[in-house]
């Protein structure tokens, strides 16, 4: 699309297909999409595409073998011909993009038949987009890439077919198959998308459908009151249930393949079942009952905690909240109700342990929620490729029997980092996070470094591959080094969450404290002397986290309050670790910025310039983090830096 960055689908990525002869067999809307893609490529590069089998030789055959909607495909090459077969339209589309990723190698030598299928059925992006610009949160809550892709001037965009179609194409090319089009905090205007404005959602769904993407909607639990004029939203009230059933029937009238509802209830001020003395299972099951006849799903978020805590109250621990609320409800949720759990117990900090809820509810379908939008990881002004963090989360084994990627039977979800910015994600390198999420959701056990290389090769071509890999691969650990240390989190400026403020949340109602004093820092979450949070894990992890001697360094301050002279497993004291990592983090940003500068001339100048400009801000901000954190801890502890470096 004109004026919009092609991201990981530049024209050149289609050259290997566009210069060859392709036969497409089968019919249906997604086969038409596949045909359109190949025909466009051939128009650009001189190849040919046919839908009739004639005796002439073909280089590529894309064949739909059944009427289904499956996502699997098979790939093979022999006798000079590459073949993709699939029994469902989405599978054929994913097979096409597999060929795009392979490039020329798809057409060289021979390849044994390989079967590909996603490990996770639902791979979803949640957009925190408001239709109307919110006075505090703007149009996209925690959005760092401009306005919304879907909504403009209070309505669905007029030119949906351009940008949203290009977006759907990018998502299909990395394996995403579901999108929720509005914010989980559902304000007044957005509530009406469910009823009189459902036509606008249907228009978006129509544009995404040819790319195998189903549309979901965030709804307010109070909808029967705010939209239906009822006096209650009690999930056990017959009138309320009837209202949801009728409303949901109309939604499916407008969008027959509608995916379902996303609900943030009794969380940060949103309405929910607690007001009626009902449980979250009661609330979720009511919506599941309304969606069930149409094959829809309710994604019920587990982000429930007390956001009005008194900081003096040491008995309440926000990290415990999701487990305490939801584990007793295991087994009570309907089959089409999915509990959507943030990967960590707090809120998308640069480092958190895994949420103990994951693995603790064997009779409930869980979806794991990640955050692509970089709320706490540099807000798309800093380079922070989250692939290694997500991969650690997905490969983590809460119990020996299964990894998180396998326990996420209800899907993998990421909060989107996309907006109407010409580079989609504000920071052009943040595109790597979106791409990586899609590919990891398809295969949670995949090596993230391989996915990064795929993204680099598609987006930039072969030239700067090694340098780009180096710049991105370590960027999450670099970010971790210059921000809050050893898993303690927060220390950000309140409200917008950008930049350091060590005590910004220390006396706030949000339950986000580090408890630094002159002797030490960290939160005692042990069973023996602390909040007991460590005991929410299965035995093997509960034991590891319980003692500072066995607790992994990177989450030590999440689980324990220790003295500044406590010796880490690395052999360093906590205070020296803080100083060293903060100096190192800034030095790593300085080096990455130089590497980036050396790549000018190897890519589109606008893209190079946008990243170069953001590196200036990242470096300024990293220095600010380093100096505030180091000065704060020097002043608190009185312990100097062993290397005598400058601390203020
Ligand atoms: C974070 C974020 C909010 C968001 C919330 C959520 O707290 O700062 O903007 O609404 O998460 O996930 O619901």
- What's 52's domain CATH number? 3.30.379.10
From 95, 116, 137, give the residue that closes a domain. Answer: 116
Mean pLDDT, the chain, integer = 97
Among 319, 324, 636, smallest CA distance to 487 is for 319
With a pLDDT cut of 90, the percent of the chain lying above it is: 96
Name the residue with the closest Cα to ligand 1, atom 11: 347
- Ligand 1 atom nearest the C-alpha of 185 is 10
Name the residue with the closest Cα to ligand 1, atom 2: 142
Distances (CA, A) of 209 to 252, 255, 295, 420: 14, 10, 16, 20
Q: Is residue 308 part of a domain?
A: no
Q: Are residues 80 and 157 in the same domain?
A: no
DSSP string, 270-285: ---GGGGT--HHHHHH
Q: Is residue 572 part of a domain?
A: yes
Q: Are residues 360 and 435 in the same domain?
A: yes
Whether the Cβ atoms of residue 391 and residue 439 lie closer than 8 Å to each other? no
CA of 491 to the centre of ligand 1 (A): 17
Which residues sit opposite 366 in a β-bridge? 339
CA of 409 to the centre of ligand 1 (A): 23
Q: Give residues with Cβ within 8 angstroms of 529, minimum separation 6.
A: none
Confidence of residue 65 (pLDDT cuts 50, 70, 90): very high
Confidence of residue 401 (pLDDT cuts 50, 70, 90): confident
Statement: residue 56 has pLDDT above 90: no
**H helices present in 59-217, as ranges:** 89-102, 160-174, 188-191, 198-208
Confidence of residue 464 (pLDDT cuts 50, 70, 90): confident
Q: Are residues 58 and 190 in the same domain?
A: no
- Ligand 1 atom nearest the C-alpha of 369 is 12
Name the residue with the closest Cα to ligand 1, atom 7: 347
Q: Is residue 613 part of a domain?
A: yes
From 423, 448, 473, give the residue that closes a domain. Answer: 448
What is the per-residue pLDDT across 329-365, written as a single tens digit (0 to 9) for each?
999 999 999 999 999 999 999 999 999 999 999 999 9
What is the per-residue pLDDT across 589-640, written as a single tens digit (0 to 9) for each?
999 999 999 999 999 999 999 999 999 999 999 999 999 999 999 999 999 9
Name the residue with the closest Cα to ligand 1, atom 10: 185
Among 295, 289, 217, smallest CA distance to 256 is for 295
CA of 373 to the centre of ligand 1 (A): 11
- What's 146's domain CATH number? 3.20.20.80
Statement: residue 462 has pLDDT above 90: no
Rounded to 5 degrees, what are φ and ψ at 629? -65, -50
Count Cβ atoms below 10 Å from residue 406 Cβ, excluding itself. 15
- Ligand 1 atom nearest the C-alpha of 264 is 13
Q: Are residues 98 and 29 in the same domain?
A: yes
Task: Report the distance separating Cα 275 and Cα 233, nearest Å.
Answer: 9
Q: Are residues 419 and 279 in the same domain?
A: yes
What is the per-residue pLDDT across 552-566, written as a single tens digit (0 to 9) for each?
999 999 999 999 999
Q: Are residues 99 and 136 in the same domain?
A: no
Q: Kindly compute the dihedral angle of the four CA atoms of residues 103, 108, 114, 117, in this order, to the nearest 10 degrees.
A: 10
What is the per-residue pLDDT across 103-129, written as a single tens digit (0 to 9) for each?
999 999 999 999 999 999 999 999 999
- Ligand 1 pocket check: which of 303, 319, 321, 511 to mutate, most ligand atoms within 8 Å of Cβ? 303
Q: What is the mean pLDDT of residues 198-205?
A: 97
- Ligand 1 pocket check: which of 139, 142, 496 to mutate, most ligand atoms within 8 Å of Cβ? 142
Residues with CB under 6 A from ligand 1: 141-142, 184-185, 264, 303, 347, 375
CA of 139 to the centre of ligand 1 (A): 14
Look up tokens 């699309």; give the residue. 1
- Ligand 1 atom nearest the C-alpha of 183 is 10
- Ligand 1 pocket check: which of 127, 128, 413, 512 to mutate, most ligand atoms within 8 Å of Cβ? 128
Task: Report the distance separating Cα 298 and Cα 244, nearest Å.
Answer: 12
Q: Are residues 89 and 134 in the same domain?
A: no
**Per-residue 3-state assignment (H helix, E strand, C coil) for 283-305:** HHHHHHHHHHHHCCEEEEECCCC
From 116, 137, 172, give the residue that closes a domain. Answer: 116
Name the residue with the closest Cα to ligand 1, atom 1: 347
Statement: residue 1 has pLDDT above 70: no
Name the residue with the closest Cα to ligand 1, atom 12: 303
CA of 426 to the centre of ligand 1 (A): 20
Whether the Cβ atoms of residue 593 and residue 614 lie closer than 8 Å to each other? no
Laid out side by side, the sheet with 73-78 consists of 48-50, 21-25, 60-68, 81-88, 73-78, 111-116
CA of 55 to the centre of ligand 1 (A): 58
Q: Is residue 411 part of a domain?
A: yes
Q: Are residues 237 and 377 in the same domain?
A: yes
Just list the catalytic residues: 268, 347, 375
What is the per-residue pLDDT across 158-198, written as a single tens digit (0 to 9) for each?
887 889 999 999 999 999 999 999 999 999 999 999 999 99
Statement: residue 643 has pLDDT above 80: yes
What is the per-residue pLDDT across 481-517, written as a single tens digit (0 to 9) for each?
999 999 999 999 999 999 999 999 999 999 999 999 9
Q: Are residues 510 and 402 in the same domain?
A: no
Confidence of residue 73 (pLDDT cuts 50, 70, 90): very high
- What's 518's domain CATH number? 3.90.1330.10
Whether the Cβ atoms of residue 411 and residue 121 lie closer than 8 Å to each other? yes
Q: Is residue 40 part of a domain?
A: yes
Task: Count structural domains, the chain.
Answer: 3
What angle do helix axes 574-598 and 475-482 make, rounded to 10 degrees?
A: 130
Whether the Cβ atoms of residue 487 and residue 474 lie closer than 8 Å to each other? no
Strands (E), 477-545: 520-521
Q: Are residues 396 and 330 in the same domain?
A: yes
Task: Report the distance separating Cα 618 and Cα 125, nearest Å.
Answer: 27
Q: Is residue 4 part of a domain?
A: no
- Ligand 1 atom nearest the C-alpha of 142 is 9
Name the residue with the closest Cα to ligand 1, atom 13: 184
Specify burial of residue 276 (Cβ count, 10 A radius: 0-12, 13-18, 19+). middle
Q: Is residue 3 part of a domain?
A: no
CA of 171 to the centre of ligand 1 (A): 23
CA of 523 to the centre of ligand 1 (A): 22
The per-residue pLDDT for 487 is 98
Q: Are residues 404 and 485 in the same domain?
A: no
Q: What is the mean pLDDT of residues 289-317?
A: 97
| Residue 13: strand, helix, or coil | helix
Q: Is residue 327 part of a domain?
A: yes
What angle do helix axes 89-102 and 448-460 make, rounded to 10 degrees?
A: 80
Q: Are residues 107 and 187 in the same domain?
A: no
ipTM, two decimals: 0.99
- Ligand 1 atom nearest the C-alpha of 497 is 8
Confidence of residue 55 (pLDDT cuts 50, 70, 90): confident
Using the 8-state DSSP alphabet, how is residue 422 labeled?
T
- Ligand 1 atom nearest the C-alpha of 128 is 10
Whether the Cβ atoms of residue 523 and residue 488 lie closer than 8 Å to each other? yes
CA of 265 to the centre of ligand 1 (A): 12
Distance between start and end Cα atoms, the chain: 50
- Ligand 1 pocket check: which of 266, 268, 304, 346 to mutate, most ligand atoms within 8 Å of Cβ? 268
- Ligand 1 atom nearest the C-alpha of 137 is 9
Q: How long is the chain?
A: 648
Structural domain harbouring 92: 11-116
CA of 184 to the centre of ligand 1 (A): 8
Name the residue with the closest Cα to ligand 1, atom 8: 142
């Amino acid at each position: 699309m004109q004026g919009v960055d092609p991201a990981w689908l530049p024209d050149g990525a289609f050259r290997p297909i566009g210069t060859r002869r392709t036969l497409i067999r089968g019919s249906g809307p997604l086969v038409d999409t596949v045909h359109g893609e190949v025909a466009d490529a051939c128009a650009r590069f001189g190849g040919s595409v046919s839908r009739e089998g004639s005796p002439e030789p073909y280089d590529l055959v894309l064949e739909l073998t059944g009427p289904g909607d499956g996502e699997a495909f098979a790939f093979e090459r022999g006798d000079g011909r590459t073949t993709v077969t699939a029994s469902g339209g989405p599978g054929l589309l994913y097979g096409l993009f597999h060929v795009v990723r392979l490039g020329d190698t798809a057409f060289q030598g021979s390849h044994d038949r390989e079967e590909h299928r996603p490990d996770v059925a639902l791979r979803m992006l949640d957009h925190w987009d408001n239709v109307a610009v919110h006075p505090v949160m703007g149009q996209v809550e925690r959005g760092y890439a401009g306005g919304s892709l879907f909504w403009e001037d209070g309505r669905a965009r007029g030119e949906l077919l351009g940008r949203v179609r290009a977006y759907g194409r990018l998502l299909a090319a990395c394996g995403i198959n579901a999108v929720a089009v509005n914010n989980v905090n559902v304000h007044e205007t957005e509530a009406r998308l469910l009823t009189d404005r459902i036509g606008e959602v249907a228009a978006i769904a129509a544009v995404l459908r040819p790319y195998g993407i189903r549309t979901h909607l965030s709804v307010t639990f109070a909808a029967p009151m705010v939209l239906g004029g009822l006096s209650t939203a009690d999930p056990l009230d017959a009138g309320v249930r009837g209202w949801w059933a009728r409303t949901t029937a109309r939604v499916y009238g407008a969008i027959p393949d509608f995916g379902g509802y996303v609900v943030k209830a009794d969380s940060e001020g949103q309405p929910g079942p607690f007001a009626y003395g009902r449980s979250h299972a009661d609330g979720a099951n009511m919506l599941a009952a309304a969606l069930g006849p149409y094959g829809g799903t309710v994604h019920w978020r587990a982000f429930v905690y007390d956001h009005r805590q008194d900081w003096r109250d040491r008995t309440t621990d926000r990290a415990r909240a999701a487990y305490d609320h939801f584990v007793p409800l295991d087994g009570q949720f309907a089959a089409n109700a999915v509990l959507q759990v943030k990967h960590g117990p707090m809120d998308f900090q640069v480092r958190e342990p895994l949420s103990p809820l994951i693995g603790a509810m064997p009779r409930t379908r869980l979806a794991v929620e990640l955050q692509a939008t970089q709320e706490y990881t540099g807000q798309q002004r800093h380079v922070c490729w989250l692939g290694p963090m997500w991969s650690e989360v997905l490969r983590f084994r809460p119990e020996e029997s299964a990894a998180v990627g396998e326990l996420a039977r209800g899907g993998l979800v990421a909060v989107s980092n996309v907006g109407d910015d010409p580079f989609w994600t504000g920071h052009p390198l943040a595109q790597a996070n979106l791409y990586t999420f899609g590919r990891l959701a398809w295969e949670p056990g995949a090596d993230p470094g391989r996915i990064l290389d795929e993204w680099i090769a598609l987006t930039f071509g072969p030239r700067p591959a090694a340098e780009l890999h180096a710049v991105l691969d370590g960027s999450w650990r670099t970010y971790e080094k210059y921000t809050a240390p050893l898993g303690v989190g927060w220390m950000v400026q309140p409200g917008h969450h950008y930049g350091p403020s060590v005590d910004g949340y220390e006396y706030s109602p949000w339950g986000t404290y580090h408890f630094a004093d002159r002797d030490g820092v960290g939160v005692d979450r042990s069973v023996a002397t602390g909040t007991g949070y460590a005991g929410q894990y299965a035995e093997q992890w509960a034991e590891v986290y319980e003692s500072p001697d066995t607790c992994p360094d990177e989450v030590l301050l999440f689980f324990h309050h220790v003295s500044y002279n406590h010796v880490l497993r690395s052999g360093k004291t906590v205070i020296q670790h803080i100083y060293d990592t903060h100096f190192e983090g800034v030095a790593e940003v300085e080096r990455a910025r130089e590497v980036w500068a050396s790549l000018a001339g190897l890519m589109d100048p606008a893209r190079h310039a946008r990243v170069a400009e953001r590196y200036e801000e990242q470096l300024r901000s990293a220095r600010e983090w380093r100096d505030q954190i180091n000065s704060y801890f020097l002043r608190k502890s009185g312990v100097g830096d062993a290397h005598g470096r400058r601390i203020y």
